[in-house]
Amino acid sequence: MNCKKALGIALAAAACFFSGGAEAASPEEQIDVILNLPTTHGDDLEMRLRESGDFAVTDLDRNGRIELLFLQEMRNGVPEEAEPRNENERSAWEHIASVPVSRKLYAYEISANGKRLDPVAVIFTDDEIDPNLRYLESAVREAQTGITYYHVATLTRVGGAGYRVSLQSVSLQNGALQIQTIASEFGNYGIYSEQGTPEAVFDHAATRLGIELSQSAFSEFSSKFAAGFGAGGDERFKASIRWFPVQALRESKIQPNGMRPLMLESWQGFSLTPNNA
């Protein structure tokens, strides 16, 4: 075998390993790597495990190297000036207070050598709105690039009784989570004494390019988005991520190897099912 051919084989093998190909360890082995990492007080992972929120085990870019996601939400209470006049209004305000005013998404991925858990940068193309990955609409794998884009509808409370619905595309590529807001609807919650739930009152909507949409146009756009629109030849999937409370993960630490089954259950709940509809 000549030197050029040997070098070519070596480079191909290296490319396969570092791309998370056939040489990647199994998800179970990678979870064991995470659990066996030394925990240093004040490091990223130790901080995430001490905070509230939910976690999930995924492989969003399908490179064979699992990710550990953490999603935290912040909420405000009922505004003091609201002064509900009866139980129906009080109940409506409690519904509004349950809508997060902001979120924070953290992501970590097993390193190419399989020995570390590295932080993943979160990059926003436009609005810095962390996506609510609990409720995936769909996923599309782009035929030309092989990149998988996850479609998410994120509801956020704005001010006292305002709301925003953001249709977002999420992908893990080039070592970073890429977040893009495709379109948004804005409005306010109507609170009525005769009903205990607030009513969403549409104000306006627009695409990321600034094109205004009527309520019916946004609704139609949302339906296509949820169905996973894409170019011809793109693969469409129904996507699912299994989240568990971080508190449950902390509590499982008191059992010998107790965190492993919970992480495995989360991993087994991550799926992309071909949508043939």
Whether residue 18 lies inside any domain: the answer is no
**3-state DSSP helix/strand/coil percent for the chain, to nearest 5?**
30, 35, 35
- In terms of residue numbers, what domain contains 133? 23-274
Whether residue 9 lies inside any domain: the answer is no
pTM of the model: 0.87
Whether residue 245 lies inside any domain: the answer is yes
Whether residue 208 lies inside any domain: the answer is yes
Whether residue 64 lies inside any domain: the answer is yes
Per-residue pLDDT reduced to its tens digit, 80-116: 888 888 999 999 999 999 999 999 999 999 999 999 9
Structure tokens at 170: 């999420």
How many domains does the chain fold into? 1
CA 126/CA 268 separation, integer angstroms: 32
Whether residue 124 lies inside any domain: the answer is yes
Per-residue pLDDT reduced to its tens digit, 210-255: 999 999 999 999 999 988 887 778 999 999 999 999 999 989 988 8
To the nearest 10 degrees (0 to 180), the angle between helices 259-268 and 27-36 is 140
Whether residue 7 lies inside any domain: the answer is no
CA 71/CA 56 separation, integer angstroms: 9
197, 176 contact by CB (below 8 A) = no
Whether residue 157 lies inside any domain: the answer is yes
Give, for 87, the enclosing helix (H) or strand (E): helix 87-97
